[in-house]
Structure 1
Amino acid sequence: MAAEGYEEMSGNGELEESSAMEAFEVPPPPPPTEMADMLEENGSPAAVAPEAPEAPVEPGPASFSMPLAAEDDEGELPVDFERLWKAAHDDPQDFTTWTDLLQYCEQESHITASRRSLVAFLARYPLCYGYWKKFADLERRAGYNDKAEEVCIQGLQAIPLSVDLWIHYINLLLGTLDMNLSDSPVRIRRVFEDAVVASGLDFHSDRLWDLYIEWEKEQGNLRHATAIMDRILKVPTQLYNTHYDKFKEHLSAHEPKEMLSPEEYEELRACCRQSQKAERAEQAQEEEEERPPGEEEPATPEGTDSEELMQKIREQVLVRRDKVYLDNEGEVRKRWNFEDAIKRPYFHVKALDRLQLRAWHSYLDWEIAQLNKDTKDPSPDSEEAATEGAEVTAQPQEGSGDAAVATDDNRVRILFERCLIACALYEELWTRYAQYLEAHSVEEARAVYRRACEVHLTYKPNIHMQWATFEERHGDLSEARRVLEALEKSLPGFAVVRLRRAGLERRAGQLDQSEALLRDAVAESKEKPSLHAFYSIKLARLLLKLGRDPSRARGVLQEALEISPDNDKLHMNLLELEVSGDPWASAGAVQECVTRALAAPLAPHTKILFSQRGLQFAEDYSNSIQSVLSVYEEHQKLLRELGGTKRGAENGDEDSEKLSKSEDGSADAAQVSTNMPHVPITTPPPPVGGADMSSQADYGSYSSWYQQPQYGSYGYQNTWNYNQGYYPPS
């Protein structure tokens, strides 16, 4: 979106704060033809926009470079250049270090240093249109007009919604081209057309349209100027009313025949002459009655148009434009409050406040609702369409370039592109745009993900993982793998990315690859016990549940326990593995797990839980009462040592009666339960409270995916009263 004012460089060459960061994104229209032609002329075909119009080349380290000519070598770089260069590259997300580097190079007036810094900076922050202008001015002052044009072309590939950059590029051409050559005006006109197609629908694009109209007038092409005015009268812009005023001035200052297309002029002339003849016939009849006998009617010169006829033609021209103007005024009125709520339409690294983000979302909601409404009720006679704002579309005119007049879908796309200038650092807006485009074109949605992940949000993981999910959903597994691998390289050690990679391979049927990824993660995280335990649990579950290999799963957990003997989750998962096996064969292994947990440096309540789980397993599956009683006695001993008041509940005195009351609703039920020792209480009480919740933080914000909030969720209920009345109190 264009700046609202006429921001320019300050006197010392620095950008004013209000416009230094203003920039624009790639809109839906295809890359301008002028850009491709210029790049071919300048011998840089590799930089031409790609074949798919919806995925223009973004300036990156590989796609944006200015070759250093031999004559540009100014010897050694400035003294502090290397220090500032290193600081910027050590922390490329620190915008201040980059601006310090650029300001230093500008002060030193060293073209090689400035060029190198600007190339690196714009590869990371391509939305800063003011620096593209600085770069072009640098090349032009050095006498390299071709390079200055290349810089403008590269910038416009990155931000073709930038009205200011288009005007800068046009002024550059006007100042360097020989206008005496026949092809120069043709080329300028082509650039103007590219500009209005790319950014002419912007709400603040008025200056570009005015410049185009004035240039056509200077060339003496009044009909072209009129055609451009007709186009802008259909576009909702901030200064829509001034365009109509200028059209009226244009109409009154020139003969209709000179400014209207031949077809429209002849149509209006015939209509007005017919009307004039009818009026004159009536007038002649009145005059005939008053003319003296024998006097003839004065002859009218053939082939000449009176001033009266010209005035009638002008009136009819305005009648036709009045309806277009009023319809456009309605469109502007509907958007005015949304536009007024947008306070920072340009790019800046500073965070936007929530009100600004809400304003963009509200605007998008409204524009999409307009599209959906018009799709359901496309009738132009619909009262709702008339009041809610169906888009004004242009009638095709020869040479009018009516691609600059938006359909409803184009309106939505243009607004998304404007939004992604100010909100380029917010994943939610990129995701929303990709989801909108996916319903229309998978390739367009893919291009949005690519722009977001490879240029603007290189260090934000969520959008990359969404891109990988998008590619997997559409069957491109190799691209999904590439996205996740690249993300893991930029964010090493990020657990959820490795899990996403393992999950991708598992869903693709590559179980060996999934296992290998988790094994590598286990091996690489030995220096971080909590992360090592996390990966070990994931690997063990994969081996047990999908690999059907409990032996290997057991080995993984046992090795992890050697590194982290105090990790209760490892103990719990190992116990889960043993309990899920053959109860006759795993009795010893279960008790071994319990013994290991009781010997580990775990919290007292956790040890009680493991002991209770061992007792429950013995009660359910043991072959002899002696073994059950042995486990029971060990459990009672542990309760006396660690359980405190829990022992009373276990022994079935006061707490037993309370539990029975709560379950059965009467004290009699508790008495019956006590008098029937051969019938154990089978209704489990709530899970044990006080479980250690802090350990969830060990695995970052994704802990809720893989960790349970309390041990009861693993299926181990607090059944201290399970054996109540079955064994005598100890």
Structure 2
Amino acid sequence: EGGEMGRKEPETVFERGLQSIPLSMDLWIHYISFLQSTLDPGDPESVQKIRGVFEAAVAAAGMDFRSDRLWELYVEWERAQGELRAVTALFDRLLSMPTQLYSHHWERFKEHVLHNPPRDILTPEELLWLRSKLAAEPLPKEPEPGAAEEQIRELVISMRQQIHAQNEAEVGKRWNFEEGIKRPYFHVKPLERAQLRNWRDYLDYELAAGSHERIIVLFERCVIACALYEEFWVKYTRYLERHTVAGARSVFQRACGYHLPRKPNIHLLWAAFEEKQGESPETAPNRPETHPETPKTPQNTPKAPQNVPKCSQNTPEALLREAAASTPAPPLASFYAVKLARQVLKVQKNLIKARKVLVEALDRDPENARLYANLLEMECGADVRQNEGNAMSCFERALRSGLPDEAKVVFSQRRVEFLEDFGSSIHSLLTAYDEHQKFLKQRAARKRPPENG
């Protein structure tokens, strides 16, 4: 009910789902089944629509070792359309594809050849070439009626036999790796060490084999099962950096925006990647475009996450600010603040701006000794004749805070040393010295054991 308008909404949902999980065989099969049940089978446009979805499915997921159900569904659909030549063409693609049921496909192909007339399953060009090849071979005796067709069938199968043998060898190389994948889906429960090692070894094997398309598909499978493991995202981005900037940026966006928002290392690598590109804010894209060398799968052309703030500029400062702003946990936000302050100070040479970053971070996280230490390092690194007041303010703030006694003693000692070396007032030095002795006595009193043991 509702016709085309009633079909559009679920179709849109399917397409959005396949953008997010294009390696899901179940989702592709359900989508195709939905189209078959809602489109008019007698309409040529419906046939073209379904064939187009099948092609999109095998382009996105057909290289998955466990994609056999999808290929079989495509073959049977073309057979139901009466397109036997299209079935042959599909088998020609599938017979060179290392998949779990490779042997089953080979047997089905031979049945297809033996149970159908050659003129129905072969293109006119291939049929003509096979007949000319047979005519060129001397026959021992006059052929019987129908013998030519049998010879053509035998030749068709023998020509594919070598392809099947090579594919069988490729399957054999991957079989143990595939057997080692016990959990191909995502789960928050940690993976066993053997599983992680198997993914590392499998990726290294495909990287050494050198097929870009197979490498991409395996990485995509890996980051589903290992979505919470930073090392695999890093390995993926490092591979893509050598091939496509847009593809690498896409993976960084997925890793940092969806799966690892609180992992600092991957965010810093993204910032370094963008800095290396040397792009200005005007030319840096907000989201990736598909690169010609990268398979046109939805993972490589994702839409910006709706629940993650978009970064208007892919610059190191902007990325670090976004990471700090979108991280609720104070320790991690403070980590990003330190990195941002250093970037602003060292690259932009802006002490005032860097100081503001750390002071704002201290307002949110007032008991973080690392923030005080970094602020003090910045203040003491400036011209001490002009910056003595700011350095002293930093000392005072640390000593008035809720830091542990041990940390306060360290800051108090550094204050005395700073005034000894750079202080402009002997009165300030003597006052700091007296307060330092008080800190030492307070710490000793707290550490003193009870008199009664």
Please give the TM-score of this superposition, normalised by the length of structure 1: 0.52
Kindly provide the CA deviation profile for residues 26-48 of structure 1, in whole angstroms up to 9, marking residues without a partner as x: xxxxxxxxxxxxxxxxxxxxxxx
2:395 pairs with 1:553: no
Please name the residue that 1:597 is paired with: 436
Match of 2:11 among 129, 135, 149: 149
How far did residue 417 of structure 1 move?
0.3
Whether contact under 8 Å (1:537, 1:557) holds in the other structure is no
How far did residue 257 of structure 1 move?
1.4
How far did residue 522 of structure 1 move?
3.2
2:202 pairs with 1:340: no
Matches within 5 A, 1:188-337: 188-275=50-137, 278-279=138-139, 283=141, 306-337=145-176
Match of 1:466 among 235, 244, 269: 269
SS of the counterpart of 2:422? coil
How far did residue 547 of structure 1 move?
4.9
Match of 1:438 among 235, 241, 247: 241
Match of 1:511 among 331, 335, 351: 351
Alpha-carbon distance between aligned partners in 1 of 2:125 and 2:416, rounded to the nearest angstrom: 89
Kindly provide the CA deviation profile for residues 153-196 of structure 1, in whole angstroms up to 9, marking residues without a partner as x: 11111111111111111111100000111211111111111111
1:427 maps to a residue whose letter is E
2:341 pairs with 1:502: yes
2:217 pairs with 1:414: yes
With over 3 angstroms needed to count, the CA separation of the structure-2 counterparts of 1:522 and 1:195, relative to structure 1, is closer
Whether contact under 8 Å (1:203, 1:236) holds in the other structure is yes
Please name the residue that 1:39 is paired with: none
1:319 maps to a residue whose letter is S
Alpha-carbon distance between aligned partners in 2 of 1:425 and 1:522, rounded to the nearest angstrom: 30
Matches within 5 A, 1:631-710: none
Whether contact under 8 Å (1:568, 1:602) holds in the other structure is no
Whether contact under 8 Å (1:163, 1:205) holds in the other structure is yes
Alpha-carbon distance between aligned partners in 2 of 1:516 and 1:452, rounded to the nearest angstrom: 29
How far did residue 219 of structure 1 move?
0.8
How far did residue 457 of structure 1 move?
2.6
Please name the residue that 2:411 is paired with: 570
1:145 maps to a residue whose letter is R
How far did residue 580 of structure 1 move?
3.9
Give the count of matched residue pairs: 404
With over 3 angstroms needed to count, the CA separation of the structure-2 counterparts of 1:474 and 1:574, relative to structure 1, is farther
SS of the counterpart of 1:432? helix
With over 3 angstroms needed to count, the CA separation of the structure-2 counterparts of 1:149 and 1:360, relative to structure 1, is same
Alpha-carbon distance between aligned partners in 2 of 1:327 and 1:357, rounded to the nearest angstrom: 29
1:555 maps to a residue whose letter is S
Q: Which has the larger radius of gyration?
A: 1
2:316 pairs with 1:454: no
Kindly provide the CA deviation profile for residues 118-156 of structure 1, in whole angstroms up to 9, marking residues without a partner as x: xxxxxxxxxxxxxxxxxxxxx99xx93221111111111
Whether contact under 8 Å (1:273, 1:309) holds in the other structure is no
Alpha-carbon distance between aligned partners in 2 of 1:574 and 1:437, rounded to the nearest angstrom: 49
> Which ranges in structure 1 are unaligned for 5 or more consecutive residues?
1-138, 285-299, 372-407, 608-730
Alpha-carbon distance between aligned partners in 2 of 1:155 and 1:523, rounded to the nearest angstrom: 42
Alpha-carbon distance between aligned partners in 1 of 2:445 and 2:154, rounded to the nearest angstrom: 93
1:424 maps to a residue whose letter is A
How far did residue 454 of structure 1 move?
1.7
Alpha-carbon distance between aligned partners in 1 of 2:421 and 2:202, rounded to the nearest angstrom: 55
Matches within 5 A, 1:105-184: 144-184=6-46
How far did residue 459 of structure 1 move?
4.0
Alpha-carbon distance between aligned partners in 2 of 1:535 and 1:450, rounded to the nearest angstrom: 28
1:513 maps to a residue whose letter is K
Alpha-carbon distance between aligned partners in 2 of 1:306 and 1:502, rounded to the nearest angstrom: 88
Alpha-carbon distance between aligned partners in 2 of 1:563 and 1:148, rounded to the nearest angstrom: 57
Please give the TM-score of this superposition, normalised by the length of structure 2: 0.82
2:345 pairs with 1:485: no
**Greater helix share, structure number:** 2
The percentage of aligned residue pairs carrying the same residue is: 40
Match of 1:361 among 194, 200, 215: 200
With over 3 angstroms needed to count, the CA separation of the structure-2 counterparts of 1:188 and 1:586, relative to structure 1, is same
Please name the residue that 2:309 is paired with: none
How far did residue 271 of structure 1 move?
0.6
Superposed CA RMSD in Å reads: 2.8
Please name the residue that 1:713 is paired with: none
Alpha-carbon distance between aligned partners in 1 of 2:370 and 2:136, rounded to the nearest angstrom: 89
Please name the residue that 1:116 is paired with: none
> Which ranges in structure 2 are unaligned for 5 or more consecutive residues?
282-312, 448-453
SS of the counterpart of 2:187? coil
Matches within 5 A, 1:17-56: none
How far did residue 213 of structure 1 move?
0.8
Alpha-carbon distance between aligned partners in 2 of 1:580 and 1:370, rounded to the nearest angstrom: 62
Whether contact under 8 Å (1:550, 1:577) holds in the other structure is no
1:314 maps to a residue whose letter is R
2:361 pairs with 1:521: yes
With over 3 angstroms needed to count, the CA separation of the structure-2 counterparts of 1:522 and 1:350, relative to structure 1, is closer
Alpha-carbon distance between aligned partners in 2 of 1:421 and 1:320, rounded to the nearest angstrom: 38
Kindly provide the CA deviation profile for residues 583-619 of structure 1, in whole angstroms up to 9, marking residues without a partner as x: xx77775554333211225544999xxxxxxxxxxxx
SS of the counterpart of 1:144? helix
2:245 maps to a residue whose letter is V
SS of the counterpart of 1:491? coil
Whether contact under 8 Å (1:537, 1:573) holds in the other structure is no
How far did residue 221 of structure 1 move?
0.7
With over 3 angstroms needed to count, the CA separation of the structure-2 counterparts of 1:317 and 1:579, relative to structure 1, is farther
2:167 maps to a residue whose letter is N
Whether contact under 8 Å (2:261, 2:327) holds in the other structure is no
1:572 maps to a residue whose letter is Q
Pick which of 326-335 and 468-477 moved more. Answer: 468-477
Alpha-carbon distance between aligned partners in 2 of 1:263 and 1:442, rounded to the nearest angstrom: 42
Alpha-carbon distance between aligned partners in 2 of 1:154 and 1:188, rounded to the nearest angstrom: 17
1:253 maps to a residue whose letter is H
